[in-house]
Chain A
Amino acid sequence: MRIGLFATCLGDTLFPEAVKSTAVLLARLGHDVVFPPEQTCCGQMHVNTGYQREPVPLVRNFAEQFGDPSIEAVVMPSGSCAGSVRHQHEIVAERYGDAALRTGVAAVKAKTYELSEFLVDVLDAADVGAYFPHRVTYHPTCHSLRMLRVGEKPLRLLRAVDGIDLVELPEADACCGFGGTFAVKNAATSSAMLRDKMDHITGTGADVCTAGDSSCLMHIGGGLSRIRSGTRTLHLAQILAATRTSPHVLTEAAR
């Protein structure tokens, strides 16, 4: 299958390992991964902060970059960006776009997937041949959980990972407190939410906390690093892309 990879602006810039893992994984599964080079950002931060005019060019660019009919699926390692493409691009296009943009947005929306959805729903691949011999706990991010309804899909993928010791996260579905600009505008409340999330994570004794969104992991990982917890965060794609022969996550590029 010809897959258009959307790196997301945050993944591309700050968390390239998550995107590399996504690309490698999809290629290893036998697919043709293409990276439309003019892609940038889905505009989610703008919309969620209350700005719907400003992201019009971003929405247009996204629709153009991935509109190519030879791209059969658009895949991204982010539940919240997939949620934005599926639920917010339409709103922006309806309000400030033209007919062409509305058509373009609808066409791309229909083939857009978050990574775990794509693997399970489209490829029907619960076991992607990963090997990751560590104790891991999974945090379902809010947008994956409630906007995309990914449900058990990421857990099905994780359970199939060879060598993994998957431990359940108490109160897993509670928000970690990130919420984009919420973490800046309401930093104190966000920190209080983060503290509880971190207590639950460290309580599991996991070496690694994983999730499908680099943004939430940046928040959780930033907190865990601050308290020197010893638990690290890794994107789901990094675990799924790790194999016995190429344990990518273990040779992460030095920052």
Chain B
Amino acid sequence: MSSPTGPSTRNTFLGMPAVPPRSPYGTGHLRGERAFPEAAQDELGNEQLRRNLGRATHSIRAKRLALTGELPDWEQLRDAGSAIKTDTMNRLPELLEQLEQKVTEHGGTVHWARDGVEANEIVARLVKNTGSDEVIKVKSMATQETGLNEHLASEGITAHETDLAELIVQLADDRPSHILVPAIHRNRDEIREIFLKEIPGIDPGLDTVPAHLAAAARAYLREKFMTTRVAVSGANFGIAETGTLSVVESEGNGRMCLTLPETLITVMGIEKVLPRFQDLEVFLQLLPRSSTGERMNPYTSMWTGVTPGDGPQDFHLVLLDNGRTAALADRIGREALHCIRCSACLNVCPVYERTGGHAYGSTYPGPIGAVLTPQLAGMHGAGDDPNSSLPYASSLCGACFDACPVKIDIPSLLVELRHQHTEESGSTAEGLAMKAAAAVMKRPKLFTAAQKAAGLGRVLAGRDGTLSRLPAPFDGWSDSRDTPAPPKQSFRSWLASPEGAATMRAAAAEGAPHTDDAPEAP
């Protein structure tokens, strides 16, 4: 077991890490302050949030189903996506080196960042080298994960988010709660309030018509696009074969960032590489349909190194590990790395729908976040690390698996991760209870005795035959559910009783061929 601050995963032998390092504790946004059940409690109490989330997820869900349903080869596409990802993970080092070589050949510079801290330092240094103290940003999960904006601010550099939803979150000094729709938890009235308060010189008569809100943001962003010389982006895909990077988006603000500035710095998680250009064919069908429920996203930008006289003349690619190699070394983590961040699993998840993204405490919320976050950043200690609560933040209903375009079996991964967690936590009260339960259940005589003892619970039941208050840790259960008192007789004792035997004989007799029912001969 490793302590939260302990570098125990970094024991060195001949300069090589014994185990690939996870994302360092206490940096970036891969860990919340509180365990999931506690953080969820607040969100559950927020009626507005639940209405906003419910409405948004239901409408995206319906759109996604309609559009995946219209492709006759949708299942084959999912299989293809899954197969390409498996192949990618199997030869990730080789593909990354190929990507580096191709990017360099085309005039770009590749940087390798072991963790978020390194990535942030590299980006800050690159920005400083340009002499600029401002950057514009295309929505990027990787830099959200590393906490780049905060780091840049500490270095005197201002980062402007240009994705509309990300801008709303940034202006409100809030955190994104969805990987694709960061402001999913906000409604139009709230957005209007935020704009009125935070955008200098805005028309005080602004109303809540979506087009007017978008226009206000556009006017604000236009000025940033025209005056800022450095941009930071993420990448949805990096093609090893050609060195091409790609960003897909809806608003075109990303394209402005990718083409207008002089310097472009892209931070990409190492798992985002794809072997061949042709592979985009599969993912550009899977991604928009799964994420926004669109046949095609409005803007797909691709760039390969630099092109003299066109677009940024200085291009840097920062390849981010931050726990990904550690995940790759793990059977669960490796499958989780297949994720293309489409957010389909969030949109169908009944838990996410009720709690929103903040309860997960991580840049990656929802079902895949519950797997990926502990894989990237670890679950330290016996249970006091909030990340330890994430594998349990699921009812294992399986809706996420059905929705995932690359067929990640999230429920099975969660069950495995729970196992990993209990194995690492040593002896706990729950573990002892599980052992005790198994000890009773493996001995039929003890089990039968326990059933008889359970029958005594009847004396505790109210007149309606139910138990309405249970002791801890079941008090949460009994807050909203009655529990039936155990019946007088278990099934097995009924079956062994004269009544049981008689009932079964009678049923068998009913089933026996009824000769008297046979049609009479004429």
Q: In the complex, what distance in Å separates the CA atom of A38 from the CA atom of B492?
A: 10
Partner of B444, one of A25, A39, A145, A195: A39
Q: Are A35 and B422 in contact (CB under 8 A)?
A: no
Pairs A–B under 8 Å by Cβ, sample size 10: A12-B490, A13-B454, A19-B491, A28-B511, A145-B398, A175-B350, A175-B395, A175-B397, A185-B37, A188-B37
Given contacts A16-B491, A48-B396, A253-B488, contact A29 B511 (CB under 8 A): yes
Q: How far is the CB of A121 from chain B (nearest CB, A)?
A: 20
Query: Which of A100-108, A109-117, A152-160, A220-228 participates in binding chain B?
Result: A220-228
Chain A residues with Cβ below 8 Å from B479 are 187, 191
Q: In the complex, what distance in Å separates the CA atom of A188 from the CA atom of B38?
A: 9
Q: In the complex, what distance in Å separates the CA atom of A172 from the CA atom of B120?
A: 46
Q: Are A49 and B430 in contact (CB under 8 A)?
A: yes
Given contacts A179-B397, A187-B479, A188-B44, contact A50 B391 (CB under 8 A): yes
- Residues of chain B in range 478-522 having any CB-CB distance to chain A below 8 Å: 479-492, 494-495, 500, 503-504, 507-508, 510-513
What sequence of 0s and 1s flags, for each residue 32-65 of chain A, a beta carbon within 8 Å of any chain B beta carbon?
Answer: 0101011111010111111110110110010000
Residues of B that sit less than 8 Å from A by CB: 36-37, 40-41, 44, 50, 350-351, 354-355, 391-399, 401-402, 412, 415, 417-422, 430-431, 434-435, 437-438, 441-442, 444, 447, 451, 454, 458, 461, 464-466, 468, 473-474, 476-477, 479-492, 494-495, 500, 503-504, 507-508, 510-513
For residue A142, CB closer than 8 A to chain B, the reply is yes
Q: Are B40 and A182 in contact (CB under 8 A)?
A: no
Q: In the complex, what distance in Å separates the CA atom of A20 from the CA atom of B313?
A: 77
For residue A11, CB closer than 8 A to chain B, the reply is yes
Q: In the complex, what distance in Å separates the CA atom of A174 from the CA atom of B351?
A: 11
Q: Are B441 and A40 in contact (CB under 8 A)?
A: yes
Given contacts A20-B494, A178-B395, contact A255 B487 (CB under 8 A): yes
Chain A residues with Cβ below 8 Å from B418 are 48-50
Given contacts A179-B396, A193-B354, A253-B489, contact A40 B444 (CB under 8 A): yes
Q: In the complex, what distance in Å separates the CA atom of A232 from the CA atom of B120?
A: 58
Q: Are B396 and A38 in contact (CB under 8 A)?
A: no
Report the nearest B residue to A255, measured CB to CB: B465
Partner of B434, one of A17, A46, A145: A46
Q: In the complex, what distance in Å separates the CA atom of A35 from the CA atom of B504?
A: 12
Report the nearest B residue to A80, measured CB to CB: B396
Q: How far is the CB of A190 from chain B (nearest CB, A)?
A: 7
Q: How far is the CB of B344 from chain A (nearest CB, A)?
A: 15
A-B complex: 4 closest residue pairs judged by Cβ atoms: A187-B476, A179-B395, A50-B418, A222-B481
Given contacts A49-B430, A184-B477, contact A27 B508 (CB under 8 A): yes
Given contacts A14-B486, A179-B396, A255-B465, contact A27 B477 (CB under 8 A): no
Report the nearest A residue to B512, measured CB to CB: A30
Q: In the complex, what distance in Å separates the CA atom of A199 from the CA atom of B479?
A: 18
Report the nearest A residue to B489, measured CB to CB: A16
Chain A residues with Cβ below 8 Å from B491 are 7, 11-13, 16, 19-20
Q: Are A189 and B504 in contact (CB under 8 A)?
A: no
Q: How far is the CB of B441 from chain A (nearest CB, A)?
A: 4
Chain A residues with Cβ below 8 Å from B454 are 13-14
Q: In the complex, what distance in Å separates the CA atom of A241 from the CA atom of B421?
A: 43
Chain B residues with Cβ below 8 Å from A195 are 480
Partner of B507, one of A27, A173, A191: A27
Chain B residues with Cβ below 8 Å from A184 are 473-474, 476-477
Q: In the complex, what distance in Å separates the CA atom of A189 from the CA atom of B394?
A: 10
Q: Could you list 17 further interchain pairs (A-B, Cβ under 8 angstroms) beyond the known A20-B494, A24-B504, A189-B37?
A: A23-B504, A24-B507, A27-B508, A29-B511, A30-B508, A46-B438, A49-B418, A49-B434, A142-B397, A143-B398, A147-B398, A187-B476, A191-B476, A223-B481, A225-B482, A253-B489, A254-B488
Chain B residues with Cβ below 8 Å from A37 are 444, 492
Q: Are B477 and A183 in contact (CB under 8 A)?
A: yes
For residue A249, CB closer than 8 A to chain B, the reply is no
Partner of A189, one of B44, B434, B444, B490: B44
Q: Are A188 and B40 in contact (CB under 8 A)?
A: yes
Q: Are A12 and B489 in contact (CB under 8 A)?
A: no
Chain B residues with Cβ below 8 Å from A167 are none
Q: How many residues of A contact B (CB 8 A)?
A: 79
Residues of A that sit less than 8 Å from B by CB: 7, 9, 11-17, 19-20, 23-25, 27-31, 33, 35, 37-41, 43, 45-52, 54-55, 57-58, 61, 87-88, 142-143, 145-147, 173-175, 177-195, 218-219, 221-223, 225-226, 253-255
Chain A residues with Cβ below 8 Å from B473 are 184
Q: In the complex, what distance in Å separates the CA atom of A224 from the CA atom of B426?
A: 39
Q: Are B484 and A218 in contact (CB under 8 A)?
A: yes
Q: In the complex, what distance in Å separates the CA atom of A16 from the CA atom of B309?
A: 79
Q: In the complex, what distance in Å separates the CA atom of A130 from the CA atom of B185?
A: 48
Q: Are B476 and A188 in contact (CB under 8 A)?
A: yes
Q: Are A226 and B396 in contact (CB under 8 A)?
A: no
Given contacts A16-B490, A179-B397, contact A219 B481 (CB under 8 A): yes
Q: In the complex, what distance in Å separates the CA atom of A39 from the CA atom of B40?
A: 39
Report the nearest A residue to B482, measured CB to CB: A225
Partner of B484, one of A178, A190, A253, A255: A255
Given contacts A27-B507, A188-B476, A222-B481, contact A61 B442 (CB under 8 A): yes
Q: How far is the CB of A235 from chain B (nearest CB, A)?
A: 12
Q: Are A186 and B442 in contact (CB under 8 A)?
A: no
Partner of A9, one of B350, B441, B458, B494: B441
Q: In the complex, what distance in Å separates the CA atom of A50 from the CA atom of B480?
A: 25
Given contacts A12-B490, A28-B508, A179-B395, contact A191 B484 (CB under 8 A): no
Given contacts A51-B431, A225-B482, contact A13 B397 (CB under 8 A): no
Chain B residues with Cβ below 8 Å from A51 are 419, 422, 431, 434, 438
Of the listed residues A142, A185, A188, the one surrounded by the most CB atoms of chain B closer than 10 A to its CB is A188
Q: In the complex, what distance in Å separates the CA atom of A178 from the CA atom of B490?
A: 23
Q: In the complex, what distance in Å separates the CA atom of A193 from the CA atom of B458?
A: 29
Q: Are B441 and A193 in contact (CB under 8 A)?
A: no
Q: How far is the CB of A81 from chain B (nearest CB, A)?
A: 13
Report the nearest B residue to A183, measured CB to CB: B477
Report the nearest A residue to B50, measured CB to CB: A192
Report the nearest B residue to A182, measured CB to CB: B395
Q: In the complex, what distance in Å separates the CA atom of A15 from the CA atom of B36?
A: 32
Q: How far is the CB of A151 from chain B (nearest CB, A)?
A: 13
Partner of A175, one of B399, B466, B511: B399
Q: In the complex, what distance in Å separates the CA atom of A54 from the CA atom of B451?
A: 20
Chain B residues with Cβ below 8 Å from A254 are 465, 488
Q: How far is the CB of B69 from chain A (nearest CB, A)?
A: 15
Q: How far is the CB of A183 from chain B (nearest CB, A)?
A: 6
Given contacts A9-B441, A40-B447, A177-B350, contact A225 B466 (CB under 8 A): yes
Q: How far is the CB of B422 from chain A (nearest CB, A)?
A: 4
Q: How far is the CB of B25 from chain A (nearest CB, A)?
A: 22
Given contacts A20-B503, A255-B458, contact A223 B476 (CB under 8 A): no
Q: Are B398 and A146 in contact (CB under 8 A)?
A: yes
Q: How far is the CB of B394 from chain A (nearest CB, A)?
A: 7
Chain A residues with Cβ below 8 Å from B461 are 255
